[in-house]
């Protein structure tokens, strides 16, 4: 707490090695020991053994003060002052004035507050690092034709892991043989298994729910997607938001100001009245004005909220992102890959008299052969003949492709770029049915159209309804044509639709859509980069294993289930309310206690009790940010009380 008050980041031991029970916390052990000594002193005092009682009282002071006095003195030697400094001065002053029980109570209550804070931090961070325990203690690999059990840290890139039914992947890899169903619930929060076969990626912590598969290792265990998530979230927990900056802005200069105020109370009071009385009141002011609760009001809330969110499939990049997310009132959703499954399929091919369906598909596939666009994959999957890539292929961003096939110029693109000509009625019909239509032109003559449909996610209407219940306005921004976009939006329950947009158009629309309110953009983290960067909050969908999405977005939803969106939004709002409550309560306590302490209405023992009890309340309130209820169908990552099954070195 003294670090926080001085603007220094707190240091924490490895969370998985920290205390797992309250009785293991050193500060609480000292507090209990001091309390027992003080109780013994009270009993001896009532038995008229005053000398022995005084000895026990001084021992109680020493035991309780051992928690904070040595550290405060070390920092003071380096010119750093904080709450520990204030408590040390108050304790020494109380002893000098002969108020041994009050000095002991100050130390005991301060130690309890310190211990509870450290235990809360360790628990929330340990819950996050528990994700690493999803990595199994050993994994079977094929080396020189033999199956060998090895530790995850001994895996090398290129190894073949053998995953039997029920086993977890120790790191990221690519399936080379076998088919199975993968349980990603511990990572993404989604309970529905995913079918996977050769060539498909598998991530660390994934459970093999079907047949045995061989997986080629693609990343060291310490560099896996799971380890990267933990590292990013731990960094995010240290990032300061507006509330935390406000708390630090107030708390940092407050400590020297409190010392100055206490000195003035002592000096001025001694001039006009009894010096001993006013020195005592000055010590009480030191305790009353200590910004302990204010210093931890926001950081502890951020740690708890960000850690809890990560265990439910959403990475929030620090306090600033958490606070901004809690203020969002408008959300703009991309269509492809966000509202839809991102697995488009060809549903129809229509032609003019100048070509057959086979020719249209072959020519389109030739232009799409080297494209990574989802629509390209759908076209290539439909082509039954071998595809030879076109020559001189040029992409026209936001419109389509131009290339040469067997010396003939071919164009492929949107109906707004290539006029459908005789196919207008067919194109209109297909678009109204919710399909995206690609026009194929050969030598400046339209020869056909390919209709591709990307089905709406089954949970999209529920997710949109959940956002509306939170009072959030929802809009769709897409580069698709107007008819297709409106058909998809209608099924999802969205009324505000902006279609046929280029990437820069999406970014430009965010301002008018927000109408001075906080707006979030939800996309894939790559294609929607301008809009994600322009929005107050950029949210990347399906970011598991995608470096660009995780690193660039303010919030990354690890899974593909849209219901994560209202869940993380509600969680951020609740966390922000807790921050505001803690800051307000902390300032109110200081404001009320200072005049009461300075005027002698409250004595040292009373002020110590109220001050430290208020700090305990702030800690308890902050811990509430770690509680979140998963949406039905979404699950939380399992916690653990055991050890982590792999080493993890934070990277800078």
Smallest Cα–Cα separation from 604: which of 87, 3, 120, 9? 87
Tokens representing 296 are: 């931890």
Query: What is the distance between the alpha carbons of residues 526 and 553, in angstroms, rounded to a whole number?
Result: 10
Query: What is the distance between the alpha carbons of residues 288 and 359, in angstroms, rounded to a whole number?
Result: 84
Residues sharing a CB contact under 8 Å with residue 296, sequence separation 6 or more, in sequence order: 1, 4, 117, 615, 618, 619, 622
Note the Cα 271 to chain centre separation in Å. 56
Instruction: Please check whether residue 188 is in contact with residue 540, taking contact to mean a CB–CB distance below 8 angstroms.
Output: no
Query: What is the distance between the alpha carbons of residues 128 and 650, in angstroms, rounded to a whole number?
Result: 14
Distances (CA, A) of 340 to 347, 453, 544, 566: 16, 9, 17, 17
> What DSSP string describes 471-540?
T-EEEEE-SS-HHHHHHHHHHHT--EEE-S--HHHHHHHHHHHHTTSEEEEEE-SSTTHHHHHHSSEEEE
Determine the 3-state secondary structure of 263 from DSSP: helix
Q: Is 354 a catalytic residue?
A: no
Query: What is the distance between the alpha carbons of residues 368 and 456, in angstroms, rounded to a whole number?
Result: 24
Sheet bearing 207-208, strands edge to edge: 194-196, 180-183, 207-208
Burial class, 306, CB count within 10 angstroms (exposed 0-12 / middle 13-18 / buried 19+): buried
Residues sharing a CB contact under 8 Å with residue 295, sequence separation 6 or more, in sequence order: 1, 4, 5, 83, 247, 248, 251
Query: What is the distance between the alpha carbons of residues 330 and 476, in angstroms, rounded to a whole number?
Result: 11
Backbone φ/ψ region at 433: left (φ over 0), alpha (ψ -120 to 50), beta: alpha
Residues sharing a CB contact under 8 Å with residue 151, sequence separation 6 or more, in sequence order: 137, 138, 139, 646
Annotated catalytic residue, options 172, 334, 473, 561 = 334
- Active site members: 334
């Amino acid at each position: 707490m003294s670090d926080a008050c001085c603007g220094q980041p707190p240091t924490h031991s490895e969370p998985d090695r920290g205390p797992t029970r309250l009785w293991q916390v050193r500060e609480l052990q000292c507090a209990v020991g001091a309390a027992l000594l003080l109780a013994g002193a009270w009993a001896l005092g009532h038995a008229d053994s005053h000398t022995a009682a005084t000895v026990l009282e001084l021992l109680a002071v020493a035991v309780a003060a051992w928690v904070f006095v040595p550290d405060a003195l070390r920092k003071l030697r380096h010119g750093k002052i904080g709450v520990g400094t204030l408590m040390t001065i108050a304790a020494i002053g109380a002893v000098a004035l002969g108020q041994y029980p009050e000095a002991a109570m100050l130390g005991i209550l301060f130690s309890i507050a310190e211990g509870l804070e450290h235990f809360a931090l360790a628990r929330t961070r340990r819950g996050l690092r528990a994700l690493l325990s999803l990595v199994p203690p050993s994994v079977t690999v094929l080396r020189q034709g033999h199956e060998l059990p090895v530790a995850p840290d001994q895996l090398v890139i290129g190894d073949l892991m053998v995953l039997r039914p029920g086993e977890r992947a120790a790191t990221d890899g690519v399936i080379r043989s076998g088919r199975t169903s993968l349980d990603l619930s511990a990572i993404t929060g989604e309970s529905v298994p995913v079918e996977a076969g050769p060539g498909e990626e598998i991530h660390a912590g994934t459970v093999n729910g079907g047949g045995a598969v061989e997986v080629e290792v693609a990343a060291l265990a310490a560099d896996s997607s799971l380890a990267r998530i933990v590292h990013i979230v731990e960094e995010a927990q240290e990032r300061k938001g507006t509330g935390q900056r406000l708390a630090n802005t107030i708390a940092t200069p407050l400590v020297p100001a409190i010392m100055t105020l206490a000195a003035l109370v002592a000096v001025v009071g001694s001039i006009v009245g009894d010096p001993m009385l006013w020195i005592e009141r000055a010590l009480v002011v030191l305790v009353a004005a200590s910004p302990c609760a204010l210093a931890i009001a926001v950081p502890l809330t951020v740690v708890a909220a960000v850690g809890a969110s990560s265990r439910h499939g959403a990475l929030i990049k620090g306090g600033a992102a958490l606070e901004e997310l809690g203020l969002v009132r408008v959300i703009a959703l991309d269509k492809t890959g966000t509202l839809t499954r991102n697995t488009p399929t060809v549903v129809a091919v229509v032609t003019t008299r100048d070509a057959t369906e086979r020719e249209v598909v072959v020519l389109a596939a030739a232009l799409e052969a080297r494209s990574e666009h989802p629509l390209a994959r759908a076209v290539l999957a439909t082509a039954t003949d071998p595809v030879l890539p076109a020559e001189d292929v040029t992409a026209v961003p936001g419109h389509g492709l131009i290339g040469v096939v067997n010396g003939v110029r071919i164009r492929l693109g949107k109906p707004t770029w290539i006029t459908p000509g005789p196919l207008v009625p067919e194109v209109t019909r297909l678009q109204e049915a919710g399909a995206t239509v690609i026009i194929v032109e050969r030598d400046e003559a339209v020869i056909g159209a390919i209709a591709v449909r990307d089905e709406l996610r089954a949970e999209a209407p529920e997710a949109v309804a959940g956002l509306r219940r939170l009072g959030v306005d929802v809009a769709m921004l897409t580069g698709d044509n107007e008819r297709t976009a409106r058909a998809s939006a209608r099924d999802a329950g969205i009324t505000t639709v902006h279609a046929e947009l280029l990437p820069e158009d999406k970014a430009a629309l965010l301002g008018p859509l927000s109408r001075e309110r906080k707006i979030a953009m939800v996309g894939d983290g790559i294609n929607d980069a301008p809009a994600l960067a322009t929005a107050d909050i950029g949210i990347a969908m399906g970011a598991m294993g995608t470096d660009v999405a995780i690193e660039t977005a303010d919030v990354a939803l690890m899974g593909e289930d849209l219901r994560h969106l209202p869940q993380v939004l509600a969680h951020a709002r609740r966390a922000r309310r807790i921050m505001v409550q803690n800051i307000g309560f902390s300032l109110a306590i200081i404001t009320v206690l200072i005049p009461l302490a300075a005027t002698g209405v409250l004595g040292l023992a009373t002020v110590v009790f109220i001050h430290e009890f208020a700090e305990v309340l702030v800690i308890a309130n902050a811990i509430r940010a770690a509680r979140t209820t998963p949406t039905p169908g979404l699950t939380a990552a399992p916690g653990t009380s055991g050890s982590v099954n792999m080493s993890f070195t934070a990277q800078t």
